[in-house]
Amino acid sequence: MGLIRLIYSSHADLDLRLSDVKQILETARSKNYALGVCGMLFYNSKYFLQALEGEEQTVQHIYNKIADDFRHDDLQVISQTSIEDTLFSHWAMGYAGNSKAVDDTLSNMGLASDDFTQLNPDQCLQLLIGAGQHQQL
């Protein structure tokens, strides 16, 4: 099977604390590393935006587990594409929250909204790449 990049957004169901986000990241990083999956997660206290990259079957399995997580709802797959190479290979799971870099990335795209349901797949990927340049946690 080939490599894919799956990007999804979801609405945060709870007001998560920083410790909750850290726990999500620790689990994702440990499991993703073992499975050969990489990616980038963005969380702005209302929405999650995440890219997962790896073998198709493995990425689908992880996404299905994520879909069952009670901490969010209204999951929407933004894109699922075959890829030759990964963009986020230096992280088992990178992370960024709201920051000037995110604001600048949205502004450079001519957007003021952080409502990911309003962004097209290319804009979502560019936001994750821009946020990844200023990875946190």
Domain ranges for the chain: 3-132
Chain mean pLDDT for the chain:
88
Secondary structure of residue 79 in the 3-state scheme: strand
Bridge partners (DSSP) of residue 136 are: none
CATH numeric code, 3-132: 3.30.70.100
What confidence tens digit (pLDDT) does each residue in 51-105 have? Answer: 999 999 999 999 999 999 988 889 999 999 999 999 999 889 999 887 777 777 7
Helix axis angle, 100-108 to 121-132, nearest 10°: 150
